[in-house]
Amino acid sequence: MTAPAAGRSVAGRRVVVLGGTGFLGRHLGPAFRQAGADVLTVSRTASASRHPSPGVRALAMDLTGAGPDRLAALFAGAGAELVVNAAGAVWGVTPEEMHRANAELVGDLVEAMAALPRRPRLIQLGSVHEYGPGRAGGGTTESHTPAPVTPYGRAKLLAADRVLAAARSGALDGVVLRIANITGPGTPPGSLLGGLAERLARLREAADPDPVLELAPLRASRDFVDVRDVVDAVLAAAAAPADLVCGQVINIGSGRATPVRHAVERLIAHSGLAVRLVERKADTARTDTEWQQLDIAKAGQLLGWQPRRDLDSSLGALAATA
């Protein structure tokens, strides 16, 4: 794991990870603990035994129904010095549930934390989908005016704007990490690559002599980043001085756009299966972006961070854990 910038550490700090049993949360809790922090993870579906990790405490709470007062009591009781918001909803929810989990929850967090006499830092984990369409051949910088085209992107942008407004007014020590498409070990099946890894595992078990995979059109190019590199970036943001990161948006990605077809073909190769790919006709009602690539220079300047894992090693780790 890449250490935060020299001379800074999260050791001994009290950290609350929201969404502790989600994809990112399952990696963040143990990583903060390994770095010497006192860690509490919070999740609606979490019992302490669901994703056990030595030294990491777990609390079950419906964050979307908690409200500012209960959240403030949670942070005060935990003595929180740092709150990482890895909670939210991406797949399999209604638009109303998505808005509540991604936008309204963050409004509650900001209100709760601004009311505390000792204000923790809030690290809001945002998304590349907040930007909307990228420009083919170039990376999107943090100065780009966001224009999201999906409900998820719009909800995440509302959340980011709330954190940034509070931070820039002095009401909050907050930073937004705007993260590319995450992959690597444990990628959830709701995502393209996670779902593909799960389907490949089922095909392997079925021992079909002529396996076929039907997928949506693979025309887009995406910025993919390994979950372990994202964890390193969060640790670096946690340790950075407030005068460097408070009120900032910082892109976290690979800095490259990879054709989705290439990523799919490499994941299939890692599975060891001779699979025939069949692409469905394009869904004309689908709203999405053809090009996503983040400019990550700012992360290097402010956090001393850069990704260390290439996409092929991430896909290998995903295939091994599916």
3-state secondary structure 78-132: HCCCEEEECCCCCCCCCHHHHHHHHHHHHHHHHHHHHCCCCCCEEEEEEEHHHCC
Q: How far apart are CA 275 and CA 100, in angstroms?
A: 40
The C-alpha atoms of residue 229 and residue 218 are separated, in whole angstroms, by: 25
Alpha-carbon distance 178 to 142, whole Å?
Answer: 9
Residue 182 φ/ψ, nearest 5 degrees: -90, 135
Q: How many whole angstroms separate alpha carbon 244 and alpha carbon 175?
A: 10
Catalytic residue among 32, 75, 131, 152: 152
Residue 131 annotated to the active site: no
306 SS3 class:
coil
* CA distance to 10, 19, 84, 242, per residue, from 31 (Å): 11, 15, 13, 21
Please report the beta strands in the chain, taking only residues with DSSP state E, as ranges in sequence order. 14-18, 38-43, 56-60, 82-85, 121-127, 173-179, 181-183, 212-215, 221-222, 224-226, 249-252, 258-259, 276-279
Angle ∠(40,87,45) on CA atoms, nearest 5: 70
Contact by Cβ (8 Å): 90, 101: no
Tokens of 91: 């797949």
Which residues are catalytically annotated?
152
